């Protein structure tokens, strides 16, 4: 569906090598997260796919069409929700969506636009000028705009930045439904729990290079051999009382919580040691690392 081969990008301004030999193939129906720190190169890659930035090297095919030779065809296949929101501020939502439809030669799509606006909670605002929308509403408008021509691939560059938590969850449901109806989705976000909730594949880009590309489950599995055990007590704790657990790196948190690190397979040993000492704890929590912990781990190393 999307084939990116040996793509490099050097911005003349600042001589910045923003992408270094990127290879990425996305199959139809995937839901992929593209993660990375500020300046990693995510938007550069997305802007290349959108045709807004000309890559220095490499090939990109969208639905089999080369973005260099068949730009128009590729534009029909993808919808892009850009990170920066440079657009015609004086138009209303309705006008802007009509204009966008016209760009693709689509007429009489009122019903579909009504549907999109309803799903994105913008119906009430359809007559408002873009400059008068709140930041979160603008992001939702950009999603509607990207979907006007029913693209097979939707690429969203931080669609939930600045969107309130309730609306973010509404957007998650919207994206899940869109994915279920067959749309291939690529999402960049700094809310890692969002990627954990929505995406099936995680691609991490760091300083212009892909440093991880794995199915989410596998990535989580590789890292989830380590677990964190939190034991809660009534009374204040002294670290010296936990010498018998020293191989599990005991730490005291908030005075009454004991934190231990262990491998999954040693969990029962930890429980037994605690039981043997007749420790009267009030609660015990075993936590798997979250995608966020794993992400930070990968970025650091």
Contact residues: Mg ion, CB under 5 A: 42-43, 83
Strands (E), the chain: 2-11, 16-26, 31-35, 57-62, 65-66, 78-81, 153-157, 184-188, 201-206, 209-215, 226-232, 251-253, 257-263, 283-287
One residue of 38, 108, 181, 283 binding ligand ATP per CB under 6 A: 38
Angstrom distance (rounded) from CA 279 to CA 288? 23
Size of the site for ligand ATP (CB under 6 A): 14
Q: Which does 56 bind (CB under 5 to 8 A by kind): ligand ATP, Mg ion, none?
A: none
Taking the least distance from each CB to ligand ATP, the nearer of 15 and 301 is 15
Token pair belonging to 289: 């690392």
Could you tell which of ligand ATP, Mg ion, none binds residue 13, using a CB distance below 5 to 8 A set by kind?
Answer: ligand ATP
- Cα dist. 63→4, 53, 76, 139 in Å? 11, 19, 10, 26
- Considering only the stretches 35-43, 141-149, 174-182, 256-264, report the one whose residues sit in contact with ligand ATP under the rule CB under 6 A: 35-43
Closer by beta carbon to ligand ATP, 52 or else 251: 52
| Angstrom distances, CA of residue 148 to CA of 76, 188, 294 | 10, 21, 36
* Residue 240 interacting partner from ligand ATP, Mg ion, none (CB closer than 5 to 8 Å by kind): none
The 8 Å CB, 24+ separation contacts for 174-179 are 174/119, 174/120, 174/143, 178/147, 178/154, 179/29, 179/31
Choose the binding region for ligand ATP from 11-19, 85-93, 144-152, 165-173 (rule: CB under 6 A).
11-19
Site string for ligand ATP, 78-117 (x = CB under 6 A): -----x----------------------------------
Nearer to ligand ATP, 17 or 94 (CB): 17
Task: Choose which of 4, 35, 41, 139 interacts with ligand ATP (CB under 6 A).
Answer: 41
Phi, psi at residue 233, to the nearest 5°?
Answer: -125, 165
In degrees rounded to 5, what are phi and psi of residue 109? Answer: -110, 30
Minimum separation from the CB atom of position 40 to ligand ATP (A) = 4
Q: Is the dihedral of CA 9, 11, 15, 16 positive or negative?
A: negative
Instruction: Assess 259 for contact with ligand ATP (CB under 6 A).
Output: no
What residue 44 binds from ligand ATP, Mg ion, none (CB within 5 to 8 A, per partner kind)?
A: ligand ATP
Least separation in angstroms between CB 129 and ligand ATP: 26
Nearest distance from C-beta of residue 191 to ligand ATP, angstroms: 12
């Amino acid at each position: 569906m999307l084939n990116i081969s040996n793509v490099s990008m050097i911005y003349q301004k600042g001589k910045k090598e923003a992408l270094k030999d990127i290879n990425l193939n996305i199959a139809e129906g995937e839901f992929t997260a593209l993660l990375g720190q500020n300046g990693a190169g995510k938007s550069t890659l997305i802007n290349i796919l959108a045709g807004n930035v000309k890559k220095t090297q490499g090939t990109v095919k969208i639905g089999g069409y080369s973005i260099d030779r068949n730009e128009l065809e590729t534009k029909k296949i993808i919808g892009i929700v850009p990170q920066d929101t440079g657009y015609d501020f004086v138009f209303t939502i309705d006008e802007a969506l009509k204009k966008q439809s016209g760009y693709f030669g689509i007429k009489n799509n009122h019903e579909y636009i009504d549907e999109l606006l309803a799903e994105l909670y913008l119906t009430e605002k359809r007559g408002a000028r873009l400059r008068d929308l709140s930041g979160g509403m603008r992001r939702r408008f950009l999603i509607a705009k990207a979907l006007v021509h029913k693209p097979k691939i939707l690429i969203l560059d931080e669609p939930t930045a600045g969107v309130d938590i309730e609306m973010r969850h509404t957007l998650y449901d919207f994206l899940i439904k869109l994915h279920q109806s067959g749309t291939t989705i690529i999402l960049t976000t700094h809310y890692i729990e969002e990627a954990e909730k929505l995406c099936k594949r995680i691609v991490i880009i760091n300083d212009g290079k892909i440093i991880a590309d794995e199915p989410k489950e596998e990535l989580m599995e590789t890292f989830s051999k380590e677990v964190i055990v939190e034991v809660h007590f009534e009374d204040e704790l002294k670290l010296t009382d936990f010498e018998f657990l020293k191989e599990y790196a005991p730490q005291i948190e908030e005075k009454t919580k004991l934190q231990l690190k262990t491998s999954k397979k040693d969990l029962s040993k930890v429980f037994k040691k605690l039981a043997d000492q007749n420790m009267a704890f009030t609660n015990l929590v075993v936590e798997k690392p979250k995608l966020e912990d794993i992400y930070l781990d990968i970025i650091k190393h």
